[in-house]
Structure 1
Amino acid sequence: MYRGALLAIGLCAPLPVAAQTTPAPAQRADDVARLTRLVEQQQAQIERLEARLAAVEGTRPQAMAAAPLGQALPSDAHPSPPPQLAAQVPQTPRKPAPLGQSLPSEAHPPSLDARLARIEQAQNEGVHVDWSKGTPEFTSADGKFSFRPRGRILLDLATTSGSALPNRDMTTTTARSLRLGFEGSVGKHLSYVLEGDFADNDVAIKSAYLAWTTGFLGQQAEFALGNRLNDRGLDGSSGTISVPFMERNFVGAGIIPVRGFFGLGAAARVYGDGWHVGVQVSGDDISNPGTAGDGLTIAGRAHWNPVKTADWIVHLGVWGFHENIATDATRPTRSIAVGGFFNDNLRILPGTFTGATSGDGYGFELGTFHKSLWAYGEYGARRIENRAGAATEQSAWAVQGGWFLTGETPPYLTRGGVWSRPKVLRPFTSGGRGAIELATRYEELDYSDNPTAGRGSALTLGINWYLNNFVRLQLNAIDWTVANPTQLGGASDHGQTLIGRVQIAF
């Protein structure tokens, strides 16, 4: 009882002092209000952090389904990581915990700020994805590695009429090209490409090479090994998906080595400011059957832009090749489609020239580009010799021009002097009208130095509608004339072809 009384006296003694220091009611209300605001601010901060974590981790609590009234949505000033970030966190090797540091546990989890910092750092160090080319291009954070699938779909609908030969007048659909492959880079210098193509009822490997890009005499140089598109003329050096018409002109298609557009071998190119020089040494195409030794082709091309301003570009080019033709080559000259690639009955025939052993070809290019206008011409010639000492001469020329009605500039690349694809100012797929281009071409091809070979000409009017940078709709109207010695007694045949194409190239 004595100890209890002392305890009661000790507890009661401070009460008068405490009563004297108790705040006034108004002061207590202010303190409560400040504490309430502080709690509310902390709660809002926690909710924002939880929302960011939910977005990163692919979950969203029910309490965060809608932003509280008066709370701003996330902005560029406070970005939230993308939902797929959780899958991009790199796996680091396990290490012993630092001395004196405990392991994370449910009782003491990392703070929200620490969790966000770790995830945001992983985002910066992870893989970057770019969709601007139509397919995802994956690039490592340090830029040393990249990978991108690539391909094309070219579908045609065509009709021919007016021919004196009934089998030439037909309406048909065809897949001009179905191509799939990939490209990428390893480090600062090494790149690679591999593509397979289905066309003309056949499957073939097209681009398949490694390239090393480096400096050479103060300029950029590229050295390649593998199967690569040859460097030969403005149309011949450009892909089918890039030239202004559905097919390359007669120079690019007809004045060509036996190995075709591609050859398996080595190539080197040096690029300067408005010029380039390239050489290529190659055997036969990669799809050669291998029943005899390869032929050998040595080719070179150079181009120069003597005028290169914001409004004007002038293009000059020259190219040539020498070939030793393989003994198993049965077709030293190609038959050339006149009214579209689909119609095998409508071609300029190469005739018969047996025992071909060697060939030489050359060509010249002249073009000009001004704002939305472009025009250029090409000429090419080729001479083939056989074992008997006979020779045949071939020649072709083409002039063509175009105009982008919607203001785009022609997709000509001064690096290499080739065609690319235009940068559409207002893509149709984004609510704009796309890019519209009008083009015209006249061309002639003459194989007739060989008594069994033909000749022909074509006038083409074309319209291209680019829905965006990688989708194009095309319409070509062709007025053609063909004379083959074995058809119609050598008389000329004349008619018209109308072709439409859907092109997706990525």
Structure 2
Amino acid sequence: MMNRKRLSVLLGATAITAALAQPVGAQSIDELKQQLASLAKRIEELEAKQAAADKVETKRPKISKEEPAFGLATDDGLFEVNLRGRIMADAGWVTDGDDSMNVKATEMRAARIGVEGKAWKDVKYVIEAEFAGNEVSLADAIIEYKTSTGTWKFGHYKPPVSLEEMTSSRHVTFMERASFTDAFGLGRNIGIGYKNGGDTWTLNLGAFRGKNDAGFEDEGYLFAGRATYGQEFEDGKWLLGASARVQDAGDGAYRYRQRTHSHLAGRLVDTGTITGDDTLFVLEGAMQYGAFHVASEWANLTAKDAAVGGGNATLWGGYVEAGWFITGETKTLNLAKGAWDRPKVNNPVHKGGMGAWQIAARFDRIDLTGDGVYGGEQDTYLLGVNWYLNRHTRFTANYAHMTIDKAFNVTANGADGENDADALTLRFQIDW
């Protein structure tokens, strides 16, 4: 496209050439002045049109200094689109004391690609496809509409329950989330939600009806809500939160089970299908102080009519963890999101540094026994090392020792319902 300077020069040269081509006597000085004034006005009009066009012209694709992905946006802020994705490649070695498992395997734990952006400024969207397991499935598919009193959310996403579940898998401390998040089924559903918050607090509510691949005529319902509050202090932050979920399976039913600390391994605690209706409550707390962090959650689930004699059965789970960046970074606690976020790496490898190194430990317990239900108790003692080459690239190594008791529903544990397991897992991940 011809710029304004070149356009002005060309029009001016054209007018002067036309004037000189005529006999000198045919024009007076006044006529030449009139023509030049007319030409100047025309140039101003063309420049105004060009300036208006420049305001809505789409920017060229670019990579920001903070995110390693292409983005497109308009200067007026009405439209935006950004590429997003993640790759998590795992390897695992898992054995148990009863010789029912001897895992030596690899997998793509996550392989996602998607886009996020804005449409007419107040409407945001996210859509992401998952390719892990040689199958294509839907991860997040969300539309958000921002109003003066909060944001409305529609689509396929996670109900607002638990600090660990609301934190992206890219930013959790260990390779797998706490046992209760998987055992109690904290996965994505299709629904509508409302969220509000400020610099120190969040409120999220949602109503859902079934998973994307449920396939039932009656998919039941799920209601969930979560609230958090925190504050900053010198060189640190703290956060407290609580969440609740009430769900009915409709034509389906619920079972509660959990793997040893590897997605490649089998499950040694399992209640079997016991109810179609449950209620879950979660309490959470977290603190970051300098390079050190601690976090803990406790979850209590009531399974309706699951106990012997027809009463309700109570199951529970929880964890406590601590971590320390030996290179001085901090585990970012985002109070406005009510979740952990990515750390800032002081000396990334691509700049000649050693990256960020973090060590962490966790005690995790899931108790699927009670009131005549014998799904088992699993205690996990977990150690981990995280090496962040940069903000978006991470290598993780975890070692976990599990002890299992009262797990009579799983034949791999033998008649006594007892077992133990050890897992060494490795992951290399990158996200954008």
TM over 0.5: yes
The SS at the match of 1:351 is strand
Deviations 1:42-62 (Å, cap 9, x if unpaired)?
xxxxxxxxxxxxxxxxxxxxx
1:180 and 1:490 mapped to 2: Cα distance? 46
User: What's 2:229 paired with?
Assistant: 304
Q: Does 1:365 align with 2:284?
A: yes
Contact 2:56-2:76 within 8 A present in 1 as well? no
Query: What is residue 154 of structure 2 aligned with on the other side?
Result: 225
Change (3 A) 1:439 1:149: same
Q: Aligned partners of 2:179, 2:311: CA distance in 1, in Å?
A: 24
Return the offset for 1:200.
4.8
Aligned to 2:425: 499
Contact 1:339–1:478 (CA<8 Å) still a contact in 2? yes
Q: CA deviation at 1:164?
A: 2.5
Comparing 381-390 with 397-406, greater Cα deviation is found at 381-390
**Structure 2 residue matching 1:236: 3-state secondary structure:** helix
Q: Is the 8 A contact 2:288 2:332 kept in 1?
A: no
CA displacement at 1:478 relative to structure 2? 0.5
Matched residue type, 1:146: E
Q: Secondary structure at the match of 2:415?
A: helix
CA–CA distance in 1 between the matches of 2:177 and 2:159?
Answer: 14
One-letter amino acid matched to 1:470: H
Give the aligned residue type for 2:107: T
Residues 176 and 342 of structure 1 are in contact (CA less than 8 Å); yes or no, is this contact kept in structure 2? Answer: no
Q: For the pair shown, which has the larger CA radius of gyration, 1 or 2?
A: 1
The one of 228, 251, 269 equivalent to 2:180 is 251
Residue in 2 that maps onto 1:238: 167
**Which structure has more strand as a fraction of its residues?**
2
Residue by residue over 1:82-103, the C-alpha shift from the partner in whole angstroms, topping out at 9 and shown as x without a partner, is xxxx8xx99xxxxxx9999669
Indicate conservation of the 8 Å contact 2:313/2:373, yes or no: no
Identical aligned residues as a percent: 23
What is the distance in 2 between the residues matched to 1:452 and 1:399? 24
Residue 138 of structure 1: aligned partner: 72
Aligned pair partner of 1:169 in 83, 102, 106: 102
Partner Cα separation in structure 1 for residue 13 and residue 347 of structure 2: 61
The yes-or-no answer on 1:410 pairing with 2:331 is yes
Superposition TM-score, scaled by structure 1 size: 0.71
Q: Secondary structure at the match of 1:287?
A: coil
Q: Within 2, Cα distance between the matches of 1:321 and 1:201? A: 32
Structure 2: gaps spanning 5 or more residues: 4-9, 18-49
Evaluate the alpha carbon distance shift between residue 252 and residue 208 of structure 1 in structure 2; reply closer, same or farther with a 3 A threshold. same
CA offsets 1:126-159 (integer angstroms, 9 cap, x no match): 4152343221122222232211111111111111
Match of 1:375 among 272, 294, 300: 294
Answer whether contact 1:351 1:451 (CA < 8 A) is retained.
no
Does the C-alpha gap of structure 1 residues 489 and 223 become closer, same or farther in structure 2, counting only changes over 3 Å?
Answer: same
Structure 2 length-normalised TM: 0.82
CA shift for structure 1 position 207: 0.4
CA contact (8 A) 2:305 2:313 kept: no
In structure 2, distance between residues paired with 1:460 and 1:201: 30
1:52 aligned partner: none
SS of 2:182's equivalent in the other structure is helix
Code of the residue aligned with 1:173 in structure 2: it is: T
Structure 1 residues 197 and 490: alpha-carbon distance in aligned structure 2, compared to 1, 3 A threshold: farther
Asked whether 1:459 is paired with 2:381, we answer yes
Contact 1:135 1:150 in 2 (8 A): yes
Aligned to 1:197: 130
Distance 1:327 1:125, change over 3 A: closer
- Aligned-pair distance for 1:312? 2.3
Between stretches 200-209 and 408-417, larger displacement belongs to: 200-209
Deviation at 1:234, TM superposition (A): 0.8
Give the corresponding residue for 1:426. Answer: 347
Q: How many residues of Structure 1 are paired with residues of Structure 2 in the alignment? A: 384
Q: Please tell me whether the aligned partners of residues 360 and 384 of structure 2 are also in contact (alpha carbons under 8 angstroms).
A: yes
CA RMSD of aligned residues (A): 2.8
CA shift at 1:122, angstroms? 5.9
Partner amino acid, structure 2, of 1:265: G
Matched, 1:180 2:123: no
Match of 2:217 among 287, 292, 314: 292
Find the counterpart in structure 2 of residue 399 from structure 1: 320
Task: Write out aligned runs for 1:67-216 (5 A).
Answer: 126-127=58-59, 129-131=62-64, 132-161=66-95, 163-200=96-133, 202-216=135-149
Give CA deviations for 1:191-237 in whole Å, capped at 9, x if unaligned.
10001113455432110010012322xxxx22111011221111011
Instruction: Note if contact 2:160-2:204 (Cα within 8 Å) is conserved in structure 1.
Output: yes
* Separation in structure 2 between the aligned mates of residue 238 and residue 352 of structure 1, nearest angstrom: 28
Match of 1:441 in 2: 362
- 1:314 aligned residue (211, 216, 238): 238
Higher relative contact order (CA 8 A, sep 6+): 2
Pairwise CA distance, 1:267:
0.8
Q: Does the C-alpha gap of structure 1 residues 328 and 313 become closer, same or farther in structure 2, counting only changes over 3 Å?
A: same
Q: Paired residue for 2:304?
A: 385
